[in-house]
Amino acid sequence: MASIVICGGGPIGLACALLLGRDGHQVTVLEADRAEPPGDLRAAWESWERRGVPQFRQPHNVLPGFWRIAERESPEVIDLLTESGCAWADLLYPMPSTIADQARRPGDDRFRFMPVRRAVLESALALAAARRAGVTVRRGVRVTGLLGAPAAVPAVTGVRTSGGEEIRADLVVDAMGRGTPSSAWLTALGSVGPRIEAAEHGFAYYTRHFTGPRQPVRMAPPYSQMGTFALLTIPGGHDTWSVTFVAGRGDAPLKDLRDPERFARVLRACPAHAHWGAGTPVTGVLAMAGVLDRRRRFTSAGRPVATGFAAVGDASACTAPTAARGLSTGLIQAQALRDLVRDRTPGGLGGTGFATAWEEATERLIGPYYADQIATDRARAAEMAALRQGQSPPPRPDPEMARLEAAATHDPDAFRALAEATTCLTTPQDVLSRPSLAALLDRLPPSTPRPLPAPTRGALLTLLTDAPAPTALH
């Protein structure tokens, strides 16, 4: 069995540890934050401080693609969550009221998911990892560099900590998230480092969490485009939920959404979403901006930039949080890494064969989601900018997805196909390439989704002043 060091003890680092530990490997997780998760999962939201994770209390929509893998690979995590009071929810209930056939079908269980906040999910993963034989989680240990002989393609053989400790390993896994410093560590060993693609599409996020006796009834998609802003509504488990306004980072008037009263005022002016603000607020308005889409590719001129090293989760590829794919694609990678380690262990994890195979697996499994999200973010940013300037938005770059979204408002098969594509059960490209779906879309009459009721730009700006006038909708 292999010795594996995982840098980063967030959800994906812990998931990797659980899967690799179950195969009998000796796994050490090194996490810079000292704070231990509470034993009581329900207390994690209030009491656990993760100072190294700025998005820790931002909403996390954990999609069916995550849960489908978790049920199969780590059922003990599901048990811990359900014992704490988390419960399954059904993405298909209800479907839009414009769909006549609401009947359940065989296979619909794949669309179920468990609403849960990041702190609660991570606590469950941490507790499961602490109970897994062969897995050691060390908190308060900061990794500062990689071990290995300097070379153009260095062989990574372990890590060095801030305390001067050197920990040897057959494989080092980078699960340190968006802000990972591992590119500099690799170049310090003589590597050219990963090729980095990055773009910032200029979104800002204004979020408030609520609690109440029951979850709000969904009357609009979880992500709803509303002209010059969007609304993201996410159930959070334990009778909590969140509402997020997504706006252009440069849209100065909408920065006033940081004020709770203005936040509530604009939400009340959105008829399909207003009831999401009827609960008791449990936070102020949490603002976040400057989130990059970033992809790190670990090959150069046809060969790996290092061996004995693998990046997973946001350390490998990350996108804006509107699609909420990060946890799901991270778990897809964790499962794929376990499978590759299982296949390659007899031949060793430190060779070019493993490094090349891991990069190929990442491109095959994660590349399509990243490409789709980049295109989507670019189009949404362009639409918001055009509408702010009083112009017509540019044509969508994905006409087939636009057709599917329109059909999904009234056809149950199209709705299921769209749900697959947007919840990490199947890549959007694979869903759209199905001949049966193309035939369905050709049979259905052309349709245009009705825009959700929202304040006009002028009414929106008025709502953000101190003395709002009656709301005009469009």
Residue 353 in any domain: the answer is yes
Instruction: Spell out the residues 6+ positions from residue 330 whose beta carbon is closer than 8 angstroms to its own.
Output: 11, 12, 15, 312, 313, 314
Residue 282 in any domain: the answer is yes
Shared domain check, 194 and 145: yes
Instruction: Spell out the residues 6+ positions from residue 198 whose beta carbon is closer than 8 angstroms to its own.
Output: 292, 293, 294, 295
Distance between CA atoms of 263 and 245, rounded to whole angstroms? 8
Residue 397 in any domain: the answer is no
Chosen domain end from 311, 339, 369: 369
> What does the pLDDT read at residue 473?
60
- The range of the structural domain enclosing residue 278 comes to 203-290+456-463
Shared domain check, 174 and 42: yes
Residue 417 in any domain: the answer is no
Instruction: Spell out the residues 6+ positions from residue 43 whose beta carbon is closer than 8 angstroms to its own.
Output: none
Indicate which CATH number applies to the domain containing 157.
3.50.50.60
Residue 125 in any domain: the answer is yes
Distance between CA atoms of 77 and 66, rounded to whole angstroms? 12
| Residue 330 DSSP SS3 | helix
Residue 33 in any domain: the answer is yes
Chosen domain end from 341, 369, 397: 369
What is the length of the chain? 474
Per-residue pLDDT 10s for the chain (474 aa) are 899 999 999 999 999 999 999 999 999 999 999 999 998 999 998 899 898 888 888 889 999 999 999 999 999 999 999 999 999 999 998 899 999 999 999 999 999 999 999 999 999 999 999 999 999 999 999 999 999 999 999 999 999 999 999 999 999 999 999 999 999 999 999 999 999 999 888 899 999 999 999 999 999 999 999 999 999 999 998 999 999 999 999 999 999 999 999 999 999 999 999 999 999 999 999 999 988 889 999 999 999 999 999 999 999 999 888 888 999 999 999 999 999 999 986 668 999 999 999 999 999 999 999 999 999 999 999 999 999 999 999 998 889 999 999 999 999 999 999 999 999 999 999 999 999 999 999 999 988 878 899 999 999 999 999 755 555 566
CB of 470 within 8 A of CB of 462?
A: no
Interhelix angle for 326-344 vs 64-73, to 10°?
40
Report how many domains make up the chain: 2
Shared domain check, 143 and 33: yes
Shared domain check, 219 and 322: no
Residue 300 in any domain: the answer is yes
Residue 105 in any domain: the answer is no
CB of 199 within 8 A of CB of 292?
A: yes
Indicate which CATH number applies to the domain containing 252.
3.30.70.2450
Chosen domain end from 324, 354, 369: 369
> What does the pLDDT read at residue 467?
56
Shared domain check, 190 and 123: yes
Shared domain check, 46 and 141: yes
Cα Rg of the chain, angstroms: 23
Instruction: Spell out the residues 6+ positions from residue 214 whose beta carbon is closer than 8 angstroms to its own.
Output: 239
CB of 172 within 8 A of CB of 154?
A: no
Distance between CA atoms of 307 and 349, rounded to whole angstroms? 8
